[in-house]
Amino acid sequence: MRLFSQLAQDTELKVGKLLWIAGHSGPETAEDSRTHFGIFSTGVTQLFPEGHVIDLHPWEYNEVPVLLGAAFSLDVPIVALHLTRPPVEIPDRAALGIPSHLAAARGAYVLREYEPGVPRGGTVYLRGTMPTRNVVNLLPELSAQGINVKIVAAISPQLFARQPGAYRQSVVGPAGGLDAMVITNGAFKLMRDWADGPLVREYSLSSDWDDRWRTGGSVDEVIEEAHLDEAHILAALERFANERTERLGRLRKLLDDGE
């Protein structure tokens, strides 16, 4: 892949596009073997010069052709499609108030907006098949408990970076990378295009939450071990929202101490 990228950059040959399938991205294929899924390794697609690779992280099947169409329309030689394998129920997006799967072409979209008239709890960047499915299952519970967080489907940082500024601001806001947490089936460090503030990891859920390799087992077992099951997600979102005032105070103090 590196040689292909260099060839596309440095020679007069017309090389076209290359589709790189980053399969088994995340712990969802745990039933095969503990060595059969990638939490860190699929991040190798990020180790290229900017503009040489488009990363795509669909969470359900309908987003795949939409993302591929958007990525192949760009003058970028390599498109990396990150896939997991467990079957997921295709959501009734209209009934849940979720944007159409066509919104995936923009690289990110607001899966759940802040509820008006309720104190805001911060922005959540969400990636991965099982984490997103579990969050979608929790949407009614979040409303019932008054957990008022904005949830952003973080699908492709490169596609998102190419959107108009007004759209990007509507999705992430001016401080969306600071007052934030992430939920991802990969390693936390692979989400830094979305949120990289000094307190982000403290509140986030990622497959490397304890800086250890995950073991094998059933999908449900390894997702629970990765703290990406519904119970862990609900508890993390509740804490994140409830501690927002304290969290913003800590961020302001960090800024003041740095002056």
Strand, coil or helix: 18 = strand
Say how far apart CA 87 and CA 72 lie, in whole Å. 26
CB-based burial of residue 97 (10 Å sphere; 0-12 exposed, 13-18 middle, 19+ buried)?
A: exposed
pLDDT exceeds 70 at position 190: yes
CA dihedral 221, 226, 229, 232 (to 10 degrees): 130
* Predicted pLDDT of residue 27: 85
Q: What is the pLDDT of residues 130-142, one digit of tens each?
A: 999 999 999 999 9
Q: What is the pLDDT of residues 150-160, one digit of tens each?
A: 999 999 999 99
Percent above pLDDT 70 for the chain:
99
* Predicted pLDDT of residue 88: 83
- Confidence bin at 84 (pLDDT 50/70/90): confident
What is the value of pTM for the model shown? 0.94
Higher pLDDT, 14 or 64: 64
Higher pLDDT, 128 or 23: 128
Higher pLDDT, 35 or 177: 177
pLDDT exceeds 70 at position 258: no
- Average pLDDT over all residues of the chain: 93
> Which residue type is seen at 58?
P
